[in-house]
Amino acid sequence: MTRLKEYTPGQLALRNGHDREETWVAYKGKIYDVSPSKLWRNGRHYEHWAGQDLTEELENAPHSENVFEKFQVVGFVVSRSSHDNTHR
């Protein structure tokens, strides 16, 4: 079983559908690849932008977190300090 990679918020921000081909979002620490979704074209879904942690934004969303079940988890988002400490 392959271990998923850890990404800092800055690394996640580059996967916004513009700077690179990947269109990723984070939710509750997991990073999801939303690239296949037509709803995330150009890195935007309504008022939400890719390359960000959407955990707080989705508290008032009209859907549950189950919406992420159809997307592949590609990694985990970690703070810069924990990322630096684990990869020295």
**Which tens digits make up the pLDDT trace of 66-77?**
889 999 999 999
Question: What's the CATH code of the domain at 60?
Answer: 3.10.120.10
Q: Which domain holds residue 66?
A: 5-80
**Which tens digits make up the pLDDT trace of 18-38?**
888 899 999 999 999 999 999
Q: 37: burial class by Cβ within 10 Å (0-12, 13-18, 19+)?
A: middle
Is the residue at 44 inside a domain? yes
- Residues ≥6 apart with Cβ < 8 Å to 21: 35
DSSP tag of 19 = S
